[in-house]
Chain A
């Protein structure tokens, strides 16, 4: 019993520290405008809303853009479209390329693999401007394409992860499939993908979280209100209300935006922990 307390006490303490901002955010999202403003301006911490304003949430979603409700729904739809397409693109392209690096012997494969890994060292800020110019020359600015299309061209880290997994699949399995009449694409699709569900889960979950919360990409490429995603729309929200005057609505909108990530985390917790462990071992 003592052992349990000594083990759980630090965990509970840590969790409280980590969860505090979320709790405070929720509290403020339920305050009146005046009290929320005072709390954030004066730094006075209230831990419980004295008079919960549930209407803050409907107000927040309604006031999201310049047209009531439409702004929110537009942004939500854009976020969903971008995130779903990026997740699909990332999983398909990374697993396909990972398969090729793991299982097809071709001239220069080692060099190409090394080259690909070096792109991981490249900070995204370095490629930001050239990429913007490139996509502008294609006429893709203010469309969702610059956010979605690159995902179909893979990502070094996930390719590496898939490659590690595919390299560990016994050769005989692939040979059996070859004798059964499969080419590379069929082996990838019918054999490798179903076998690497844990890797797919990690790739999909992290890509989802990153894309859903991505601020920089949409900010650079999406200029009009109709094309923006939730993460960017939140930002314009604040400007529109002049500084932090309506911080309670911003908090409410932020919490709504966060819901999918929280749900995803809880439903995929098992994969998260398992997958991170796996990556650590296979490295």
Chain B
């Protein structure tokens, strides 16, 4: 296991495509860091630079005590799990697991020991002699995971490994990954565009947007103290309500953005309450809670989350009140 340190790392693809700029992050030994952001923000590029599949155009990448910018992927002591699993289709599961070790001249006995260990850990024992084509998506993902585990690398790199699984399996695998991380004590860099996955998996999150790091912090920090509007809007479902404009009564906070999470907003049918009025446009019942979408007079939409089933109906007029203790202010 090892730490990973990125210093001012950047990548410009041919044709002047700037995919990542000035990425600075230090991943501690045994930490689970999730790189999260919308599609195309440069997460994969950053991960692939750590893997050595893309050369960094700026900055230094350090794995353990070694600067690895000039080191080939196979010598970086990393293992990578890909979105499409990337299993060798003509090899049995056993050969898939063994292949990387054979290339590293690991002894036969040791290879077999590691394979049976990983197979037991991941429940692959009955599948070892099958070809990847004869496995389900979840099983393939497990094999891809096994291929990384048998290598016993210093750092695990995951690029959207759960994206191809159906929703239920994804949640299951998420829990398994978390347990696996605790068990192996491995350093993990994990890329996903799914903020829920990021929140549940990561010890810390690195939020990216347009190739630039927006914030690095624990899920709690990122959720409760978003550094800017982008982070505030990206994490949480439904997203935070953002109101732009001049704010009266707070001299130094003129022209700012006010952010309120849906559960900090209350709607009431009692028109005597003070506050802006709005009309309910949609009511979404989600089982344990309901989301109310209301349109303000100025045309802006507000989403409020209330627990249980709501009595509001589409077309109702209501007054909006907010718990200002939960307000976020953004200057950008």
Contact = CB atoms under 8 A, between A and B. Distances in A.
B272 interface: no
Interface stretch (A46-54, A124-132, A151-159, A169-177): A169-177
A191 to B, nearest CB: 6
A186 interface: yes
Contact of A186 (B51, B88, B103): B103
Interface in B62-86: 72-74, 78-80, 82-84, 86
Contact of A191 (B73, B82, B88): B88
B90 A179 contact: no
Given A173-B88, A195-B90, A179 B78 contact: yes
A181 B103 contact: yes
Interface residues of A, number: 16
Contact of B100 (A172, A173, A181, A194): A181
B53 interface: yes
A179 B51 CA distance: 8
Interface residues of B, number: 21
A175 to B, nearest CB: 5
Contacts of B87: 176
Contacts of A178: 53, 72-74
B103 A182 contact: yes
B83 A181 contact: no
Contacts of A195: 89-90
Contacts of A173: 86, 88
Contacts of B74: 178-182
Contacts of B73: 175, 178-179
Nearest to B103: A181
A62 to B, nearest CB: 48
A179 B79 contact: yes
A96 B51 CA distance: 26
A170 B84 contact: yes
A165 to B, nearest CB: 13
Contacts of A175: 51, 53, 73, 80, 82, 86
Which 7 A-B residue pairings sit nearest by Cβ, starting from the closest? A181-B103, A180-B100, A172-B86, A181-B74, A176-B86, A172-B82, A194-B90
